[in-house]
Amino acid sequence: MKKIIVLLLLTALLQEGFSQSDVHYSMFKLNRQIYNPAVTGENEALTFTSHYRDQWLKFPGAPRTFTFQGHAPFYGRNVGLGLSVVAEEIGMFKINMVSGSYAYHIRMENEVVLSAGLQGQLEHAQIRWEEVQATDPLDRIIGQQPSKLSGNVGAGIFLRKGEWYVGASMPRILNSKTYKDVDSEMQSMFSLRTYYFQAGTAFRLNKNFALQPGLLVAHNPSAPFEFDFNVNVLMFDRFGLGVAYRFEDSADAILQFKLSEQLKLAAGMDFTISSLQEYAPTSFELLVQYEFNFSSKGVHNIRFF
């Protein structure tokens, strides 16, 4: 019975990973560049972000994802350039990605900024068959590590005014299939396009407290729509307490700390509410961000935690 449960969980895990293909973080509001290249350079300072997610803690083969990003404004803040490195493991699959992003920011009347962004991506995907426990030790596929190097492109738009923003993006436009030597069903699930819509705002409740709600909608042709809601209460411009809800999947708790004007830290815990709750009850995220903002005249925007 235990083996059947593990098999069902792994099947659900692989379907989730392949049908979505893009990285999915619960603290999406703190790392928008991972979904939309148009936000590159939006906070007007050289910024580095490290983001780690451990999906389904202690479950063998569950997804683990690490992202490191850097982006900055150029040419009078009208251009943003960025670089992103992603390392992900899902069961016997290992994926490494490097992306470069470019954004152009058009500053309009009434402090409205319209941004358009492009990104190019290089991906190395590998299947580690040696991690599979085969019933036939003479199976020729065991011990092999088939891999492929592929490229993709993405695009996005982003509109912001003061404390609110909306954006739409497609991180992967090319609908390529990574492995040609596996069954057609797995090929069709691996690298389908995912469409994203983001929206959020921030407003002060009083001098010491601010509210920061956010929304992320994801759609992949091979999976149902995904809805993520996130709301954070910022206190004294230093600490944040947040909750999030992923429709029919998880409820999340998020803590944010502004340790200095440059260094920020956030941690989140997901609590599974789907049918997998009994076997994979929690997931964990950690984010560290450093902003090289050396100007003492910078305008503080509570849209950024």
Find how far residue 196's CA is from the centre of its chain: 11
Q: Report the run of H or E that residue 279 belongs to, with start and end.
A: none
Q: Which of 275, 95, 280 is nearest to 190 (CA)?
A: 95
Look at residue 15 and tell me whether its pLDDT is greater than 90.
no
Higher pLDDT, 102 or 141: 102
Q: Give the SS3 label for residue 68.
A: strand
pLDDT, tens digit (0-9, with 9 covering 90-100), for 163-202: 899 999 999 998 755 444 444 444 434 556 899 999 999 9
pLDDT, tens digit (0-9, with 9 covering 90-100), for 255-300: 999 999 899 999 999 999 988 888 889 999 999 999 997 554 444 5
Q: Which of 118, 126, 128 is nearest to 37 (CA)?
A: 118
CA distances from 293 to 72, 231, 287, 297 (A): 11, 26, 19, 10
What is d(CA 276, CA 55) in angstroms, rounded to the nearest whole number? 12
**What φ, ψ does residue 146 adopt, rounded to 5°?**
-60, 140
- The proportion of the chain whose per-residue pLDDT surpasses 70, expressed as a percent, equals 77
What is d(CA 300, CA 178) in angstroms, rounded to the nearest whole number? 44
**What φ, ψ does residue 19 adopt, rounded to 5°?**
-70, -30
What is d(CA 81, CA 40) in angstroms, rounded to the nearest whole number? 6
Q: At 64, is the pLDDT very low, low, confident or very high (cuts 50, 70, 90)?
A: very high
Q: Give the SS3 label for residue 105.
A: strand
CA distances from 78 to 45, 102, 108, 229 (A): 12, 11, 12, 30
| Total Cβ atoms within 10 A of residue 258 | 19
pLDDT, tens digit (0-9, with 9 covering 90-100), for 191-232: 568 999 999 999 999 999 999 999 999 998 877 899 999 999
- Indicate the pTM of the whole model: 0.83
Domains of the chain are 2-292 (2.40.160.40)
- E strand map for the chain: 46-54, 64-74, 79-90, 93-107, 112-127, 147-161, 164-170, 195-200, 203-204, 209-219, 226-235, 239-246, 250-258, 263-272, 282-292
Strand partners, 203: 211
Decide: 122 and 149 in contact? Cβ < 8 Å.
yes
**Helical segments of 183-304, H only:** 184-190
Q: At 304, is the pLDDT very low, low, confident or very high (cuts 50, 70, 90)?
A: low
Please measure the distance between the N-terminal and C-terminal CA atoms of the chain and give it in whole angstroms.
46
Lookup: tokens for 230: 């996130």
Decide: 242 and 230 in contact? Cβ < 8 Å.
yes
